[in-house]
């Protein structure tokens, strides 16, 4: 399931009081649209969030993208933590985590960034749980591991609603990463 490039989409600032610069807003639009379209066309929410973050923000590599694949659909189709959020967390970790495995302050900083990202996603999307997000958007949870439920998920509009979530989470994550990079430069 290869992913193809996408074009700009909708915009909204998710960082609170810090409004993105116009060029950042264009970039965020492109990332959101790409993630949305990847999920709509190819599926695998975790990788569909990570791929445009990699491409537009210069993060990770092909191995990282492949490693994100089984995290989709609430982690291996289990309906647990939203795979799109997990893909975003992987990207955020690439930016905020430190190579010094033994540095507790570095660990704490990266965990705090992840906590803030999860909270922002929960605030905008309503939950960080795949099961809850599906239920809120589709009226019930569908186990994608069950072929009959997977067909029902598609018929219920799963690949209309989930791409919206994937796009928003990619945008929220990208905004966090851009803000982090700006703070680190100053």
Q: What is the pLDDT of residues 134-151, one digit of tens each?
A: 999 999 999 999 999 999
Distances from the Cα of 66 to the Cα of 1, 2, 50, 153, 161, angstroms: 11, 11, 10, 24, 24
Of 25 and 21, the one with more pLDDT? 25
DSSP 178: H
pTM exceeds 0.85 for this model: yes
Of the candidates 83, 18, 14, the one whose C-alpha atom is nearest the C-alpha of residue 45 is: 83
């Amino acid at each position: 399931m290869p992913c193809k490039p996408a074009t700009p989409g909708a915009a909204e600032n998710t960082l609170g009081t810090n409004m993105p610069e116009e060029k950042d807003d264009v970039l965020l639009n492109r990332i959101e649209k790409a993630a949305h379209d990847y999920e709509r066309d190819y599926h695998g929410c975790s990788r569909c969030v990570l791929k445009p973050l990699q491409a537009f923000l210069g993060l990770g590599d092909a191995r990282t993208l492949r490693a994100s694949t089984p995290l989709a659909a609430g982690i291996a189709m289990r309906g647990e933590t939203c795979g799109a959020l997990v893909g975003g967390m992987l990207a955020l970790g690439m930016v905020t985590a430190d190579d010094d495995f033994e540095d507790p302050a570095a660990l704490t900083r990266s965990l705090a960034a992840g906590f803030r990202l999860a909270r922002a996603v929960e605030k905008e999307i309503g939950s960080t749980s795949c099961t809850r997000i599906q239920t809120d958007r589709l009226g019930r949870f569908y186990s994608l591991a069950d072929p009959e439920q997977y067909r029902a998920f598609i018929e219920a509009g799963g690949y209309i609603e989930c791409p919206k979530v994937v796009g928003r989470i990619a945008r929220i994550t990208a905004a966090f990463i851009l803000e982090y990079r700006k703070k680190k430069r100053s």
